Structure 1
Amino acid sequence: MTYLFAVGITVGILAGAWVYAGGTLGFVGFAGFLGWATYFAAGGGKKGIISTLCSNLSGVFWGVITIWAATTFTAVPSLFFTIAFAAIMCWQAKLNLLEFIPGTFIGNAAFYAAGNDAIGAAVGLTCGAVLGLLSDFSAKKLSAEKSDNTIK
Structure 2
Amino acid sequence: MSQLIAISLTTGILSGIWGWIAISFGLLSWAGFLGCTSYFASPTDGAKGLAKSLLTNLSGVVWALVIIHGSSLINMEIAGYIMTALVSFCMCIQAKRAWLGYIPGTFIGACATFAADGNWQLVVPSLVLGGLFGYAMKSSGLWLHANLGQRDAQLLKQ
| TM-score, length basis structure 1 | 0.90
Q: Distance in 1 between matches of 2:45 and 2:111?
A: 21
Question: Offset at 1:16?
Answer: 0.4
Q: Distance in 1 between matches of 2:39 and 2:80?
A: 31
Q: Distance in 1 between matches of 2:67 and 2:80?
A: 8
Q: Distance in 1 between matches of 2:55 and 2:11?
A: 22
Q: Distance in 1 between matches of 2:117 and 2:29?
A: 13
Match of 2:131 in 1: 129
Match of 1:20 in 2: 20
* Structure 1 gap ranges (5+): 146-152
Q: Distance in 1 between matches of 2:45 and 2:116?
A: 25
Match of 1:139 in 2: 141
Q: Deviations over 1:76-125 (max 9, x none)?
A: 62111011101100010001111000110011000011121112111111
Q: Deviations over 1:30-49 (max 9, x none)?
A: 11101101101113312210
Contact 1:66 1:82 in 2 (8 A): yes
Q: Alignment partner for residue 85 of structure 1, among 87, 104, 117?
A: 87
Secondary structure of 2:31 counterpart: helix
* Structure 2 gap ranges (5+): 150-158
Amino acid at match of 1:79: Y
Question: Offset at 1:69?
Answer: 0.7
Larger helix proportion, structure 1 or 2? 2
Backbone CA RMSD of aligned residues: 1.3
Aligned length: 145
Question: Offset at 1:73?
Answer: 3.0
Q: Distance in 1 between matches of 2:11 and 2:33?
A: 11
Match of 1:46 in 2: 47
| TM-score, length basis structure 2 | 0.87
Secondary structure of 1:143 counterpart: helix
Contact 1:3 1:139 in 2 (8 A): yes
Q: Specify the structure having the higher radius of gyration (Cα).
A: 2
Contact 1:44 1:136 in 2 (8 A): no
